Amino acid sequence: MSGRLGGTLAVITGAARGIGRATATEFAAEGADLVLLDVAGDIDGVPYPLGTQSQLDTTARLCGKFGGSVTAVSVDIRNSSRVKEVLAETLDQHGRIDVLVNNAGLVSPSGKPVHEIDDDEWQVMLDVDLTGQFRMMREVLPSMLRRGAGSVVNIASTAGLVGYRHFAGYVSAKHGLIGLTRAASLDYAPKGIRINAVCPGSVYDDPELESVMMAEIARCLDLPAGDSERAFVASQPTNRLVRAHDVARAVLWLASDESRDVTGSVVAVDGGFTVR
């Protein structure tokens, strides 16, 4: 199979829609075989709809057009035994995992200051956005170690680099994910495994990708519906929102051998937002 990821087996979490779908289709176009994971259902205490089975199937169908193998599986990355089971099945079937894209994430429950956050709200943010990524890495890394090769790309956020008011859970988890990326990159650099993070800025809610995250952030901030895009654009040095496919192409580069000397890096795809 030709392409920048030809002959590569990539596991992508949060693949039902948004950045996960954009990444999956970019990978498929470059020849990757894919295992696409998503919770494909709602989570108690999360106030906006998550990806669905039909959205996950749509991503799989779009990727399948490129001719590689595509498997779509529902898994909640909060569930250690289910994560273990799904990755064991992947290894049984494909014999290898070359790339892990840790993309699944929640942006809320958010929208309040720290003293108003209850234990359950805090727990679900950390459990998905930080511990979920850890669980995925813990299960994938032994097989990468056996082969002496692999690339993990953690999808963090500009919220991993700077603070945002009323998003303490999200900001804490994403800062933690950058810490996990840096620490783990040192553990595995001598073993041929690279671990990097990508920090998207404000990404346009592309209807084709069924993205909803900016709308949910606007709702948490009580921004008037319909006007929120203008508010986010105003804080962008580039005067435009980031496109999910541009994030996906940074992920693709980090997944491929083109970035073979890059590990422990934190790549912002944020239109210059964090430069100021």
Using CB under 6 A as the binding rule, whether residue 68 contacts ligand NAD is answered as: no
Q: Of residues 26, 30, 38, 139, which one binds ligand NAD by CB under 6 A?
A: 38
Active site residues: 170
Residues 6+ apart with CB under 8 A from 80: 135
Query: Closest separation between CB of residue 261 and ligand NAD, Å?
Result: 25
Torsion of CA 145, 255, 100, 66, to 10 degrees: -120
Using CB under 6 A as the binding rule, whether residue 50 contacts ligand NAD is answered as: yes
Using CB under 6 A as the binding rule, whether residue 200 contacts ligand NAD is answered as: yes
Torsion of CA 123, 129, 134, 137, to 10 degrees: 150
Using CB under 6 A as the binding rule, whether residue 19 contacts ligand NAD is answered as: yes
Using CB under 6 A as the binding rule, whether residue 212 contacts ligand NAD is answered as: yes
Rounded to the nearest angstrom, the gap between the alpha carbon of residue 64 and the centroid of all alpha carbons in its chain is: 20
Q: Which residue has the tokens 């929120």?
A: 228
Which residue type is seen at 244? A
Using CB under 6 A as the binding rule, whether residue 18 contacts ligand NAD is answered as: yes
Q: Of residues 105, 109, 150, 176, which one binds ligand NAD by CB under 6 A?
A: 105
> What is the C-alpha separation between 31 and 255, in angstroms, rounded?
12
Question: Which residues of this protein are in contact with ligand NAD, per CB under 6 A?
Answer: 13-14, 16-20, 38-39, 50-51, 76-78, 103-107, 128, 132, 155, 157, 200, 202-203, 211-214
